[in-house]
Structure 1
Amino acid sequence: MPKLIATPSRIEAAGHPPKLIDEFIGRVNSGDDSISIARMLSPQGWSEPGQTPEFDEYTVVLAGELHVESQETTQVVRAGQAIVTKAGEWIRYSTPDLPTEYIAVCLPAFSPDTVHRDPDGAGG
C-alpha cells in the first residue's frame, strides 16, 4: 500500500546563517536509508563547510540560485536548473547572493556519518 508522508521533519542544518531543511523522505522522517528527499530554504549569505560525501546528490533549484564549488570550479545553479554531484567528490554549497529554495535528493540517504564535512571549514 502507498505510504503517505503527511509532513516533513525539520532537520538541523550545517552552515551559517541557519538554513531550513525539511526532510520528506529519509532516515529521520520515513526511516528510509536508501534515499532522502528534502526541501531546503537557504537565506542569502548562507554557506556551509566543504564535504566529501559517500552519496550522490541530485539538486533542483526552485527559486534563487545555489553556488556549488568543486575542486575545479564554482557553478551557479539558477531557478529551473539542476546539478548532480557524485559520491567521493569534494563540494561546498552556498547561497551568497539570493535566498534560495531547492530540493535535494541523496542516494543513499543523507547521514551525518557519511557527509564527511571539512573539520574547520577549509576545503578542496
Structure 2
Amino acid sequence: MPQHITSPTRIPVPGGKLIEEHVGNVRTGTAALSVAHMVAPAGWDEPAQTPAFDEVTIVVRGTMRVEHEGGHLDVGPGETVLCEAGERVRYLNPSEADECEYWAVCTPAFAPDLAGRDD
C-alpha cells in the first residue's frame, strides 16, 4: 500500500542546518532510500566524510560547495551533483550572507553509521 507522507520529520543537527526527512530511516523506516529537504545557513560546513551511500544533491537556491580529492565544485540553483559511495567529500555553504536550500537523495538511506564522517 502506498504511504502518504503529509509532513516530514525534522532531524536536529548542530550548526543550524535544517533537515526535514520525507522518506528514510527516521520518517518511514525505509533503509533503501532517503529523501530530505535541507537548508544550510550562511557559512555552514560539516566534517569531511566517506559515506557508504550514493548521494544526489539538487540545489534549489544558494550555492553548495562540494570539496573532493581533486578540488571543489560549486553547485548552484537548478544544478545537481552526484557523489558516489566511497568518495571522500565535504559539503559547505561558501556564502557568508545567503542560505543554501537543497534536496538530498541517498541510496541506501542516510544513517549516521554509514556517513563515515571524520572526527
Q: TM-score, normalised by structure 2?
A: 0.95
**Candidates 24, 27, 30, aligned match of 1:26:** 24
Q: Which moved more, 1:91-100 or 1:29-38?
A: 91-100
Question: Which amino acid in the other structure matches residue 103 of structure 1?
Answer: W
Q: Secondary structure at the match of 2:20?
A: strand
Aligned runs of 1:26-45 on 2, under 5 Å?
Answer: 26-45=24-43
1:2 to partner: Cα distance:
1.9
Distance in 2 separating the partners of 1:2 and 1:118 = 37
Match of residue 55 from structure 1: 53
1:73 to partner: Cα distance:
1.1
Match of residue 72 from structure 1: 70
State the superposition RMSD in angstroms.
0.9
Q: Deviations over 1:23-57 (max 9, x none)?
A: 00000001100000000011110000000000000
Unpaired segments ≥5 residues, structure 1:
120-124
1:12 aligns with 2:12: yes
1:74 to partner: Cα distance:
0.7
1:92 to partner: Cα distance:
0.3
1:3 aligns with 2:12: no
1:104 aligns with 2:101: no
1:71 to partner: Cα distance:
1.0
How many residues get paired? 117
Distance in 2 separating the partners of 1:96 and 1:70 = 15
Unpaired segments ≥5 residues, structure 2:
none
Q: Deviations over 1:85-108 (max 9, x none)?
A: 000010000002131100000000
Question: Which amino acid in the other structure matches residue 24 of structure 1?
Answer: H
Match of residue 122 from structure 1: none
**Candidates 95, 99, 104, aligned match of 2:93:** 95
What percentage of aligned pairs have identical amino acids?
44
Moved over 2 A (4+): none
Question: Which amino acid in the other structure matches residue 113 of structure 1?
Answer: D
Question: Which amino acid in the other structure matches residue 105 of structure 1?
Answer: V
